[in-house]
Amino acid sequence: MKKEIEYQCQESTCQATFHWIVSFCPFCGAKQTVVKVKIMSPQFEVQNVDESASFNMNDQTRIVASSERDDRGMKDRALPDLVLLDDGQKKYSIHIADSISNSYCDSVSFGALLRYGKSTLGLDIRRVESILSMALQRLNVVNEKALLDELDALLHVFTDTEKKLDKKSRVDALQSVSKPRPGAMKGVDPEIAERYINDFCRKHSVMQRSGIWGWKIL
């Protein structure tokens, strides 16, 4: 019996459905921490299932925690089948693929693609960013902006309390975003990451090692 699988946004005010697992809903932009999976058959009418209800592996609707996702499945996933997208998103997905070289999307290119998507799709900027980020992920393209956002958050963890960034923490932060991610050949360009760290420290008055014993804002 042929079955069709759909995934549903966990946001109660959205509950949009799509045909692939996403990190962010392409319709409302909500982060998906839980994946709602619908397995449908022509013989059954599928109803929404309350998350608190008990069910077994034969139920027509299953809810899977995001922590249980198979990373290899995410890595091997290709760009969504264009037949599942409307005409505007088809053209946008093709434009994204045509605009990327060397499997690396720098922050400037990301911004340009984001503006292009907003003007052509006429959608909320969060939804366009979700569509763009998903397309880059499925193309195994390095998303420099996303990794720099990750670096920013990591630097805050290291420095918000004492306003100091020691050498070990600096190396850890640099290596975290410079190493290749699943499906990608590389991470953030190390020179870009180094410059971002220095700019972050100056912006937030964070001191770094200077000489053997001294600390100062470089």
Q: For every one of its 218 residues, what pLDDT tens digit does the chain have, with 9 covering 90 and above?
A: 444 556 777 777 777 776 656 666 666 667 777 666 555 544 444 444 444 444 343 433 333 333 333 333 433 444 444 434 567 888 898 999 999 888 999 999 999 999 999 998 888 898 899 889 989 988 899 999 999 999 999 999 999 988 999 889 999 999 999 998 888 888 999 999 999 999 999 999 999 887 777 787 76
How many Å apart are CA 126 and CA 115, to the nearest integer?
Answer: 12
- Give pLDDT, residue 86: 67
Contact 104, 186 (CB under 8 A): yes
Q: Which H or E run includes 175?
A: helix 167-178
Q: How far is CA 190 from CA 34, 56, 171, 195, 208, in A?
A: 33, 48, 11, 9, 18
Tokens at 133, concatenated = 């980020």
- pTM over 0.85? The answer is no
Q: What is the 3-state secondary structure (H, E, C) of 71-137?
A: HHHHHHCCCCCHHHCCHHHHHHHHHHHHHCECCEECHHHHHHHHHHHHHHHCCCHHHHHHHHHHHHH
